[in-house]
Amino acid sequence: NNYLNDREFTLNWLRYRMENRPLGNRSLEYELREKGIDSEIIKESLDEVYAGEFDEYEVAVRLAEKKMVSLKKRKIEHNVTKKRLFGHLQRKGFSYDTIERVVNNIFENSKHQAPNLK
């Protein structure tokens, strides 16, 4: 019975976080462990949420695009912008592979769209 309550809580909590204050897998997992949720329930719940409703890559893209708005206003060098964006996504708990894909994609697209990036 406790298992079902924890599982239901975890799924609801994950959905809420992804809609309101999204984070990467690692940060979500850490926060749930801090709440005393069993690691197996966390893994199953993350798998379920990412398999159906949310995609970690898309969440990372959304956060990266939001961060890029403030970074572009500062008109800092391309490499510095890239490092700051990378660090921002790391602190949000995304995996290295996901971050690398997102950052490379954003900067590849920005070459054609954003002349203020050096």
Q: Which two tokens stand for residue 90?
A: 């790391």
The residue extents of the domains of the chain are 2-54, 57-113
Assigned token pair, 67: 């961060």
If one counts every other C-beta atom within 10 angstroms of the C-beta of residue 77, the result is 11
Q: Cα(111)–Cα(17) distance, rounded to whole angstroms?
A: 32
Give the model confidence (pLDDT) of 60-111 as tens digits. 999 999 999 999 888 888 889 999 999 999 999 999 999 999 999 998 877 6
pLDDT in tens, 11-34: 999 999 988 999 999 999 999 999
Please tell me the predicted confidence (pLDDT) of residue 39.
94
pTM: 0.80
pLDDT for 72: 87
Distance, CA of 28 to CA of 31 (rounded, Å)? 5
